[in-house]
């Protein structure tokens, strides 16, 4: 597909890299000549230096032939306006990164009346992800597939866990739940396990289940983890993510305290957030944290604007015994070192934004075939979770899974059929119009036919 990306910041660059690697025809536009040259030199893309609101610039970039126009600058208004101009000039679809909470109430108007296909709010999406983590505090991360019908969770095996030193077959027999362990990270090694694999202390496991089955799973194992539920949370940093997160946590009964050093921002939060305590102070000052009761909080979420501060604050919270710690890290390069930090739950708004836009692009690309419509990268990009929709009859349709020759690095984790979730067994089959969730340690799979030997 022909894709134009406006903005060569971290998000725009990450999108340009991935989409060019997936053999799309990518064009980038930015006012900064140095950034454009860097992206053009590093990846197989075209580049233009100039104003994305200039019709002559967009015409030169062939916007009329563009399948998807994506605007990722730091200005919400610039992103919205450039998408409107691009659509008027012939772009078929447009995606805008929009962070202002006030625009959330106008999503339907923007889509139906102005023709903006998708608006991505990284702060709101990051808050959703953190809220999910705090709902299941024993989990490191929670993702959803199939329009929320399938949950994908990451969990670390602790010394006291009832799962430790048990084979996956034994775990299945003991819990009697429709939960599938589809990948294991043991030290530096990551693989698709067999039923005879023995779970070891320190292993990180990735499992899939329906929402209800996942709730039962975490209830069944919670007695052997040091935190069963989060009743109170301290948010260090009062930006947009804190605003969205506090609103969500308040709705599920979690007591929230926000520490923010900007007095004007504290006043804004106090006006817009009911039943949330706002403390004006420096969240990087140990005495302030102690005075505000960090030791009494079930969870600490570090949300300052500086990644290094968030990492240090999270390490401090872990050291004093906080049961659940979530760290916001924006720089994509720092995510690669997360395992070395010893921090389990790390959330990256920029990474989430890239993932959401890529899902949209793949959905448009594969709307007529059996290609990937959703993709999540897990375990620091070492695993991929892919969702396919079966729209064409292949040789694998109506064949029992036990008779299929799957690649060794692939497992079929879930099948969604007419809103029913199937945790696949050997006698189950893939049928037409099924949504199929696949976990793989390989990269670059684009079509379901590629999962077979």
Residues 319-333 have a mean pLDDT of: 88
What are the sequence ranges of the domains in the chain?
2-120, 146-224, 232-322, 355-451
pLDDT-derived band of residue 320, with 50, 70 and 90 as boundaries?
A: very high
CATH 3.30.70.1450 applies to domain 146-224? yes
Tens-place pLDDT, residues 282-310: 999 999 999 999 999 999 999 999 999 99
Residues 54-67 have a mean pLDDT of: 94
Residues 10-35 have a mean pLDDT of: 93
Residues 417-435 have a mean pLDDT of: 88
Q: What percent of the chain has pLDDT over 70?
A: 93
Residue 368: predicted pLDDT: 52
How many whole angstroms separate alpha carbon 362 and alpha carbon 375? 8
Residues 22-41 have a mean pLDDT of: 95
Per mean pLDDT, which range of 66-75, 103-112, 151-160, 238-247 is the poorest?
A: 103-112
Q: Is the pLDDT of residue 381 over 80?
A: no
Residue 65: predicted pLDDT: 94
How many whole angstroms separate alpha carbon 207 and alpha carbon 77? 40
Q: Is the pLDDT of residue 370 over 80?
A: no
Residue 233: predicted pLDDT: 96
Residue 338: predicted pLDDT: 62
If you average pLDDT over every residue of the chain, what do you get?
A: 88
Residues 404-427 have a mean pLDDT of: 88
3-class SS letters over the chain: CEEEEECCCHHHHHHHHHHHHCCCEEEEEECCHHHHHHHHHHCCCEEEECCCCCHHHHHHCCHHHCCEEEECCCCHHHHHHHHHHHHHCCCCEEEEECCCHHHHHHHHHHHHCCCCCEEECHHHHHHHHHHHHHHCCCEEEEEEEHHHCEEEEEEECCCCCCCCCCEHHHHHHHHCCCCEEEEEEECCEEECCCCCCECCCCCEEEEEECHHHHHHHHHHHHHHCCCCCCCEEEEECCCHHHHHHHHHHHHCCCEEEEEECCHHHHHHHHHHCCCCEEEECCCCCHHHHHHCCHHHCCEEEECCCCHHHHHHHHHHHHHCCCCEEEEECCCHHHHCCHHHHCCCEEECHHHHHHHHHHHHHHHHHCCCCCEEEEEEEECCCCEEEEEEECCCCCCCECCEHHHCCECCCEEEEEEEECCEEECCCCCCEECCCCEEEEEECCCCCCEHHHHEC
Residue 339: predicted pLDDT: 60
CATH code of the region 355-451: 3.30.70.1450
Max mean pLDDT range (122-131, 150-159, 435-444) = 122-131
Residue 245: predicted pLDDT: 96
Tens-place pLDDT, residues 389-412: 888 888 889 999 999 988 888 999
CATH 3.40.50.720 applies to domain 2-120? yes
CATH class of the domain at 232-322: alpha beta
Q: Is the pLDDT of residue 167 over 70?
A: yes
Residue 8: predicted pLDDT: 95
Residue 262: predicted pLDDT: 95
How many whole angstroms separate alpha carbon 127 and alpha carbon 258? 14
Q: CATH topology of 2-120 equal to that of 232-322?
A: yes
Residue 351: predicted pLDDT: 84
């Amino acid at each position: 597909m022909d894709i134009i990306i406006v903005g060569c910041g971290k998000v725009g660059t990450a999108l340009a890299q991935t989409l060019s690697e997936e053999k799309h025809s990518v064009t980038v536009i930015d006012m900064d000549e140095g950034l454009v040259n860097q992206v053009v030199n590093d990846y197989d893309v075209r580049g233009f230096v100039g104003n994305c609101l200039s019709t002559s610039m967009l015409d030169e970039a062939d916007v009329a032939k563009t399948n998807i126009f994506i605007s990722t600058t730091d200005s919400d208004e610039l992103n919205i306006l450039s998408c409107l101009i691009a659509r008027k000039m012939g772009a078929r679809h447009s995606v805008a990164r929009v962070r202002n909470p006030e625009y959330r109430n106008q999503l339907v108007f923007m889509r139906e009346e102005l023709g903006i296909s998708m608006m991505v709010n990284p702060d709101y999406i990051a808050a959703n992800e953190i809220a999910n983590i705090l709902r299941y505090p024993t989990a490191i991360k929670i993702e959803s597939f199939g329009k929320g019908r399938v949950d994908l969770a990451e969990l670390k095996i602790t010394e006291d866990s009832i799962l430790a030193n048990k084979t996956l077959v034994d775990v299945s027999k003991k819990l009697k739940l429709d939960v599938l362990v589809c990948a294991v990270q043991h030290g530096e090694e990551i693989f698709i396990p067999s039923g005879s694999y023995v779970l070891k202390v320190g292993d990180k496991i990735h499992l899939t289940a329906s929402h209800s089955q996942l709730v039962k799973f975490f209830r069944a194992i919670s007695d052997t983890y040091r935190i069963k539920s989060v009743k109170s949370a301290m948010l260090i940093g009062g930006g947009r993510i804190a605003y969205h997160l506090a609103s969500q946590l308040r709705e599920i009964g979690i007591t929230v305290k926000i520490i923010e050093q900007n007095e004007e921002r504290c006043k804004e939060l106090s006006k817009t957030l009911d039943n949330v305590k706002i403390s004006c102070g420096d969240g990087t000052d140990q005495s302030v944290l102690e005075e505000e009761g960090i030791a009494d909080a079930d969870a600490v979420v570090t949300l300052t604007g500086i990644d290094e501060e968030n990492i240090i604050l999270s390490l401090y919270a872990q050291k004093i015994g906080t049961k659940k710690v979530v760290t916001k890290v924006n720089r994509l390069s720092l995510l690669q070192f997360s395992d070395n930090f010893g921090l389990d739950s790390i959330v990256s708004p920029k990474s989430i934004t890239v993932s959401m836009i890529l899902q949209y692009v793949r959905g448009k690309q594969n709307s007529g075939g059996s290609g990937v419509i959703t993709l999540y990268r897990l375990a620091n990009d070492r695993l991929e979770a892919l969702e396919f929709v079966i729209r064409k009859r292949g040789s694998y349709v109506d064949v029992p899974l036990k008779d299929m020759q799957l690649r060794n690095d692939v497992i079929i984790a879930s099948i969604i059929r007419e809103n029913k979730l199937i945790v696949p067994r050997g006698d189950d089959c893939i049928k037409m119009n099924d949504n199929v969730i696949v976990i793989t340690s390989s990269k670059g799979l684009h079509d379901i036919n590629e999962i077979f030997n």
